[in-house]
Amino acid sequence: MLSEFVKTADFKSEKHVPVIECADRVAAGQALGITVTVGKEIAHPNTTNHHIAWIALHYVPAGAKTSIEIGRCEFSAHGASVEGADKGPACTDSTLTIRAKLAASGTLYATAYCNIHGLWSSEKAVTVA
């Protein structure tokens, strides 16, 4: 199973963990601002050879059997250029920010992919009142 290869850790000591930041509670129908960052406490490199390729955010309503992907961002600029690795004019930051309206309490799951160290995930419960 793929789940055997998804890593988790405390983001304060591991730079690959996607950190979900949003309110713990939200009113039904109210837009919830959600930010997912890789490298929140310890910066993750964004180089041609070592970078976060994408972040995906899923929501699982309480009692549901499937997840709903509510956001995804692929990071394309890692400093590559015709002049060579890490000499390019642009590098993306490994952060995804979205707003979503949730109809029921549930759990947010963030997954991030490092081109060298693989899949990392975290989760956060959200109460809809």
Q: How far apart are CA 42 and CA 23, in angstroms?
A: 23
Residues 42-98: tens digit of each pLDDT: 999 999 999 999 999 999 999 999 999 999 999 999 999 999 999 999 999 999 999
* Identified catalytic residue from 14, 91, 123, 124: 14
Give one word for 65, left, alpha or beta, with left for phi > 0 and alpha for psi -120 to 50. Answer: alpha
**How confident is residue 19, by pLDDT bands cut at 50, 70 and 90?**
very high
- The average confidence (pLDDT) of the chain is 94
**Which of 16, 40, 51, 78 is labelled catalytic?**
16
Return the H-helix or E-strand segment holding 57.
Answer: strand 52-61
Among candidate residues 91, 117, 123, 124, the one labeled active-site is 117
Mean pLDDT of 24-38: 97
Please report, rounded to a whole number, the percentage of residues in the chain having pLDDT higher than 70: 99
Q: Is 117 part of the annotated catalytic residue set?
A: yes
pTM comes to: 0.91
Residue 15 annotated as catalytic: yes
Q: What is the DSSP secondary structure assignment for residue 49, as one 8-state letter?
A: S
Catalytic residue among 22, 40, 51, 114, which?
Answer: 114
Homologous superfamily of the 2-128 domain (CATH): SOR catalytic domain (2.60.40.730)
